[in-house]
Chain A
């Protein structure tokens, strides 16, 4: 039987299904002798998967074997349990496995730990109670058992690093012992002590030390030791080194270690061994985000690798370059990527790289307009139909929405039109469908910009596209949509109608509709002039968002006995409940127009045309379109029209605000960074003969700043205020702004893995020195001015993780002889981060500064931050506190004190408002409705609206509330508005506003008692202050 089972395993391995033998495998595990049993278990683990039904039959065997006196049988059972076990049966074996944790043999204990790990993976809730036993396993006297428990800890710590900080010491001690060679010799691999164990520990330490200075400090010594020990020239030591480097660059930085680590990276990339070179590039990719200078050091190697014969090395190098891309080198890097793409055959690589190229092309200001268009053309022709669909969508949106200057927009669009016209003249058969769709949309929308070009010509060229049999119906739709936009002149109309006529009897409904619409448009001159105003592209039309013009239609229909509207999910539920006929096949024959109207359906050309001039058509044909596949959908329409009204603030102005705020905050850090990058780029590509080397950024660099809408002039003012206090000459300001703008995204990308760069005394010192020597620090000026200069400079001290978040202005808390305290509130998603800046304003150094804060109303982390030394004038350290409001109150007072070795304690207090702890809660109207009903605590009040003369009182009130209180406007229905927000601790509060006769009726509901009351107080204030 055993031999037969092995053969069955062979069969499956070679790809022939042997499902008939599955049951025999289970039987063999049940009945066979010890060796046969092992083969039986082995076959089961190879044949079956987690949810296979036959697995249940194995449970009994496992139970029996776990209780066996034969150790080898217990061993086997534990092995199979940790490989494959049905989730539902865990409770049956759990006590037995737990017992084994105290077994006298190490192998049994080890396997029991691994089995528990498996249980944790598939059903974490069921092993919650034995976390203590994991700790025991970690302290087991046998290194094997301890090693096994590390798998569990790696997983646990990844999920919540905070809960396991206390174990840092143990992990450090273990690593120290391992590195120091305290393990038995048989754990060595090529005379390196337990290398895989070392790597596992390093990974755990990285997770623990991330963004935590205190924990990081505990591990500096052992990391240093690891770096030193790993000097034997063997692959495995390099593997450890790599892990060590990653840890050093993940935890809170220490300059000494970073220096050593940087040297190690040199060992990798300069190695003649190709595998090490690969790993070196990978390590470099990981660290350049924090230290771009490293790439500079190894620039020659990087350039060599870029031309390496091995495509894998090339690919890895491109990945590295992608990370160090900036405004200057973007065109060179993109060129390299495109070169690689042209040679690459692997679909997965193509998709990935095409996405990256598109991202870079859109993110950075480019040297020439034509470069952007050419790059995008290259992407579309290479990436073709495999690329992510949002790439063409984003491109079209960029073209349609435009940027700062109208002239620039016009030029860009014209360039696109030109390049597409010339493309259409050549053979188009090889072009991907997506590209053709983009071409036809752009031509339809913007070809009028080109003087002397007859729409009829364009229609004719587009018409030629349709002759090709290879193009899909979807593309045909796009082409027809483009044609209907070009029907302004009778000549063009004539040609278009001819083409369209062919499709009026087409079987595809979408295409047919497009054709019929075109024909109708041709017949009705009035309609045509209204729908297609001359040069009237991209005018954001005011649309009746409540669809009130349909109310009559709806009430008529209801009066005639039509069923009231039900949202789609409700209908689907009902459908699935009553098992009646399946309607799905009929879905297609219903008018597609509605689904095509929604912007979420990005495939459809109508979506885009709708956002431009055709939205008038919506009004006219609205009646027809309302009853689509998805039924009568007022919400959907409403959101969509909101989109059409205000393209740049697609989600909510609050986002926009956040965006501009983040630009401010990242501002100062970027200045330094960008300089580095500039330097890097110019020297990195010396050997490459870069075309834009050292050139100042082109004037077009502002392009990617979104248009600043007139609605929020305050933002502009504020950002200007910040920047003007930062830099004195206005020309310098321009340069700074230009440099700063494209980067926030880049920066926020890097923060995800970034180690907080500020907060460490050394780093702060360094940057301080540089700013002083750079001349921007007002070194010799009177201290009042110094203070002001300092204050605007302070936000740059915030750690990278907080940069990009909304924050308040810096305010001074108190000031003593030698210490000045300022505070800044940073509005993180799940807490209010209070940043306290301690600045040395004396000429001597200050020793042992410690800062402690407390609050009665808030949950304050109990920690006392101590900084060993503030060595010189204007040296600043930042102390961060994450505050959470548990029980709502209208305000909260934070008291704090600062003490240092040489002088008396300074105390301060700071009042925080409830508003500081309120975050917008994005909800849909449906979700809102459900939540509204489920909340028990409510408050209702009428407020006087002071300004009677305003036209739209509700809107004004809502905007005021939103701006002052950070609320999310869910929906506005007639004279009613609904809004939602949440406390940082995650508890929601819903608002319902209604205006009548100069009064605003506010109704608040929340699951917790005091929140509505307190919030109402702030609403009142916000409305009064308006």
Chain B
């Protein structure tokens, strides 16, 4: 099960965070610090999975952007690793190569893909369908 997803830039600033289990705001801060420290300190040749307390972190780097996912012990890390890529591909498709950071839209996309910590949709066109409809309605 996926516990949380973070998007962080190279400087360690959070760009997006989504938790699938309720965690108090104060605890989130310390968790984020630990997670970011754990992932950013890894070298390129080391593997993309890190242990953190009783869960595993899966991270992937895209230029200056890191996507970090906390998953439970029994999750298939490689599947999550590829899910991150799928997510980034969807973002890429929607924002047409320029990620102008529309926080709410990224969240809408994420909500289509992951619900309650489970992967619910991976079909790119279906993920984007509701968002495109919303855009159309906003235009008219």
Contact = CB atoms under 8 A, between A and B. Distances in A.
B76 A199 contact: yes
Interface in A1-31: 2, 6, 9-10, 12-15, 17
A42 B51 contact: no
B25 interface: yes
Contact of A13 (B14, B22, B46, B137): B14
Interface residues of B, number: 49
A238 interface: yes
B133 interface: yes
A986 interface: no
B29 A239 contact: no
Contacts of B119: 196, 200
A235 B82 CA distance: 7
Contact of B137 (A6, A72, A117, A348): A72
Interface string A252-281: 000000000000000000000011111100
B25 A315 contact: no
A243 B77 CA distance: 11
A349 B51 contact: yes
Nearest to A117: B116
Given A38-B134, A42-B104, A195-B82, A82 B123 contact: no
A928 B32 CA distance: 50
B133 A72 contact: yes
**Is chain A's binding surface mostly helix, strand, loop or mixed?**
helix
A17 B24 CA distance: 10
A156 to B, nearest CB: 14
Given A13-B14, A114-B115, A348-B54, A235 B45 contact: no
A312 interface: yes
Contacts of B45: 274, 309-310
B64 to A, nearest CB: 18
B46 A235 contact: no
B53 interface: yes
Contacts of A14: 14
Interface core residue of A38, A147, A235, A243 (most chain B CB under 10 Å)? A38
Interface string A290-310: 000000000000000000011
Nearest to B38: A346
A107 interface: yes
A110 B126 CA distance: 11
Interface in B41-55: 45-54
A578 B111 CA distance: 50
B53 to A, nearest CB: 5
Interface stretch (A186-194, A325-333, A671-679, A743-751): A186-194
Interface string A861-887: 000000000000000000000000000
B10 interface: no
A35 interface: yes
B116 A275 contact: no
A13 B16 contact: yes
A236 B52 CA distance: 24
Given A9-B104, A114-B120, A238-B78, A310 B138 contact: no
Interface string B107-128: 1100100011011111111100
A313 interface: yes
A75 B47 contact: no
Given A9-B103, A39-B104, A82-B116, A239 B76 contact: yes
A230 to B, nearest CB: 12
Interface string A104-146: 0001001000100110010000000000000000000000100
B47 to A, nearest CB: 4
A144 B104 contact: no
B34 to A, nearest CB: 10
Contact of A279 (B78, B83, B107): B78
Given A6-B104, A12-B25, A148-B120, A275 B49 contact: yes
B126 A239 contact: no
Interface in A205-259: 235-236, 238-239, 242-243
B54 to A, nearest CB: 7
B60 to A, nearest CB: 10
Contact of A187 (B78, B123, B138): B123
A239 B78 contact: yes
Given A15-B25, A82-B115, A189 B78 contact: no
A239 B79 contact: yes
A147 B22 CA distance: 26
A278 B77 contact: yes
Contacts of A6: 103-104
B61 interface: no
Contact of A243 (B76, B82, B122): B76
A143 to B, nearest CB: 9
A189 B79 contact: no
A235 B48 CA distance: 12
A186 B125 contact: yes
B47 A189 contact: no
Contacts of B48: 274-275
B14 A189 contact: no
B17 interface: yes
A275 B81 contact: yes
B88 interface: no
A151 interface: yes
A17 B25 CA distance: 7
Contacts of B17: 13
Contacts of A46: 18, 107
B130 A72 contact: yes
Interface core residue of A114, A199, A242, A312 (most chain B CB under 10 Å)? A312
Interface string B50-93: 11111000000000000000000000111101110010000000
Interface string A25-53: 00000000111001100100110011000
B90 to A, nearest CB: 11
A392 to B, nearest CB: 23
A107 B122 contact: no
A79 interface: yes
Contact of B47 (A196, A235, A274): A274
Nearest to A75: B130
Contacts of B125: 186
A83 interface: yes
Interface string A915-931: 00000000000000000
B51 A35 contact: no
Contact of B82 (A33, A75, A189): A189
Interface in B1-49: 14, 16-18, 22, 25, 28-29, 32, 45-49
B137 to A, nearest CB: 5
A313 B47 contact: yes
B108 A275 contact: no
19 contacts: A6-B104, A13-B14, A33-B138, A35-B138, A79-B115, A82-B116, A117-B116, A144-B126, A147-B120, A151-B120, A195-B122, A199-B79, A238-B78, A274-B45, A275-B49, A275-B81, A278-B49, A278-B77, A312-B47
Given A310-B46, A313-B47, 9 more contacts: A6-B103, A15-B32, A82-B116, A186-B123, A187-B122, A189-B86, A195-B79, A242-B78, A277-B47
The 3 closest A-B pairs by CB, nearest first: A49-B22, A239-B78, A239-B79
Interface of A: 2, 6, 9-10, 12-15, 17, 33-35, 38-39, 42, 45-46, 49-50, 72, 75, 79, 82-83, 107, 110, 114, 117-118, 121, 144, 147-148, 151, 186-187, 189, 194-197, 199-200, 235-236, 238-239, 242-243, 274-279, 282, 309-310, 312-313, 315, 346, 348-349
